[in-house]
Amino acid sequence: MLKFLPNIQGKEIVQVLCLGAHSDDIEIGCGGTVLKLLKAYPNISVTWVVFSGKGSRIDEAKASAESFLVEAKGKQIFVKDFRDGFFPYTGADIKEYFETLKSLVEPDLIFTHFRDDRHQDHRVISDLTWNTYRDHFILEYEVPKYDGDLGAPNFFMHLDREVCQQKVQLLLKHFGTQANKHWFTEETFLANLRLRGIESRAPENYAEAFYGRKLIWHE
């Protein structure tokens, strides 16, 4: 297994862009990785964008983002109100927002949805990420769900149990509206982390997994 070391220590500010269709997507997909990066590097600024929020889910999204980004050097948190479940039919408006977003941040690292995610909203965000940021370091995260669309990722972030527990506890704390969902449980989140830990031989057993489609070796 090859190890990849991003060149972020030499930069004064490292810009990270996190994109999620819904209010808990970023946390589920890459929350542990964000927590680990912020603990390891004091020069990271995060732009966190949730594309669909309504009612109490807006408050949940903002409170959760604040909790995950406590150690960030800088942060911008945006919760938009695009209609949940209808992203393919409102794609032009979402595309316009991506153009606005492009002028707000020049990211060194982008987290977005898995291209082959079976949720239509997730796929739209992934497609527009690649359409907007064509020469950037993009990692696609996964969200476990009923559709059974987990694949074979090729990029892993090893996590210790403390970070995993922090991620899970923040998810359970902030997203009370999801508590009645049969899949929204501590067991689900830890099981996925453990599975990816097995696949990547994580020294402390846990990992988040991503799809890195275009990675360039810099001399």
pLDDT digits (tens, 9 = 90+) for 84-126: 999 999 999 999 999 999 999 999 999 999 999 999 999 999 9
> Is CATH 3.40.50.10320 correct for 14-211?
yes
Could you count the other beta carbons within 10 Å of the beta carbon of residue 81?
A: 11
pTM as predicted:
0.95
Whether residue 206 is predicted with pLDDT greater than 80 in this model: the reply is yes
**CA–CA separation, 11 and 8 (whole Å):** 6
CB 61 within 8 A of CB 54: no
Mean pLDDT over 20-46 rounds to: 97
Selection from 33, 11, 12 nearest residue 212 by Cα: 33
